[in-house]
Structure 1
């Protein structure tokens, strides 16, 4: 004799309710992923692309880089570091900062940049730190070098200069970097609108440290050059601090 089957009084979940639960889980996962992405971009690393030739041959037009925003909060910047910074004011043409004119495209671009899926670049600049706060920077000495705190800097390992030229700058300058600022120059010296060319502006060509996003640490594109980014600190090994000058 078989036992009589007694129907359960518990209602079975409907397919609609199961799909709603699945959809809710997907939304939660996406929201958490977006929040984590935004936090990483804001405090840890950030992606940029190189929009110009000012840093060639160190960084080529179209290269993709990762910038360290975290460790520089307690490890200070060094001379020779390649950094990304926000326009101090008037360094970029207004067209470079306007972004897409289509509001839908602008919104999509903002979202992708916010979560780190699209690299920044148009409204930022990338240059090499030549002078730190308090440094006396001038050019050029008898052999065509930039001098920092009275010591000539051999930059030929990374500079791109015209054939036959050994001048680190075609324009002379003599500045003392104010506190909380840096003096920056591009490696492609004759094609870089850097600190030298903004000396007549209110900021004097100096970049406030608060404008610096971080230090370039990784080249992510193209793949055949993928790897850790090594700056040019070695060129500044013999330079004394401004306090010791």
Structure 2
């Protein structure tokens, strides 16, 4: 048996000594972890969950201006929005004013918004009242909207702000209106604050309009996802659910 010489890399039985795995410096590990976190944030934003904020008073009383909300996207991977869902969608064109459409300001906020870590601007938040094929009327003798002939009980979440019906933006409750059947791939949306919401009812043709070409619908492809959490302020944190009244609406003929 031969003795090992100084500085030898062999084990006592003559085999090579295994070297330990070299660790990255702390600063390099930090950069790597930040990069992985950013990639995951981008993937999560693109496919699963995204943060937004409420840009106006149109969804009061449930959602207040500047509330932070979370939107989930998997629900609409295979099926479109359902009646009663609160959805976030891209501005169909001219629904938002300049300030509401601006989104986050400042370089840090803008970067964070790109990866889903800061609420994004240029979007609206409304409740789905009707989907493809539905006929919506205003109003019955109690001032309620009807969808496919079934009245909606909206007193638990909608705010009238002095109006006498749940569809005041078209005629200010001074007359009845009807819209539908809703075209394929479109939805009809309204804010819960019925007298202060630039929604589908604000952008539809009024009964007295002649040669009107307004389009009050939102393309399903422009819907980002369904609001499922009121995230901030923390004292009002809650999960959001579809009101029971929409379960009674029959399918369109």
TM range (shorter): 0.7 to 0.9
Partner of 2:55: 51
Which among 233, 237, 241 is matched to residue 247 of structure 2? 237
- What aligned pairs does 1:122-161 form with structure 2 within 5 A after superposition? 122-161=121-160
Deviant stretches of 4+, over 6 Å: none
- What aligned pairs does 1:1-245 form with structure 2 within 5 A after superposition? 6=6, 21-98=25-102, 105=106, 107-120=107-120, 122-163=121-162, 165-170=163-168, 171=171, 172-176=176-180, 177-199=182-204, 204-232=215-243, 234-243=244-253
CA contact under 8 A between 2:89 and 2:225: conserved in structure 1?
yes
1:62: Cα distance to partner? 2.0
Q: What are the superposed Cα offsets for residues 186-244 of structure 1, whole Å, 9 maximum, x if unpaired?
A: 01000111001112586611000001011111111111221211232x1122211113x
1:26: Cα distance to partner? 2.3
SS in 2 for 1:220: strand
1:161: Cα distance to partner? 1.3
CA contact under 8 A between 1:173 and 1:196: conserved in structure 2?
no
CA contact under 8 A between 2:161 and 2:193: conserved in structure 1?
no
1:19: Cα distance to partner? 9.7
SS in 1 for 2:43: helix
1:111: Cα distance to partner? 1.4
CA contact under 8 A between 1:88 and 1:203: conserved in structure 2?
no
1:7: Cα distance to partner? 5.8
Partner of 2:208: none
1:159: Cα distance to partner? 1.1
CA contact under 8 A between 1:133 and 1:178: conserved in structure 2?
yes
Give the unaligned 5+ runs of structure 1.
Answer: 10-17
Distance in 2 of aligned mates of 1:218 and 1:173 = 33
1:31: Cα distance to partner? 1.2
1:152: Cα distance to partner? 1.5
Q: TM-score, normalised by structure 2?
A: 0.80
Partner of 2:14: none
Distance in 1 of aligned mates of 2:81 and 2:214 = 20
Partner of 1:14: none
Q: 1:225 to 1:98 in 2, by over 3 A?
A: closer
Distance in 2 of aligned mates of 1:154 and 1:23 = 58
Distance in 1 of aligned mates of 2:98 and 2:53 = 19
Greater Rg, structure 1 or structure 2? 2
Aligned length: 226
Q: TM-score, normalised by structure 1?
A: 0.83
Partner of 2:12: none
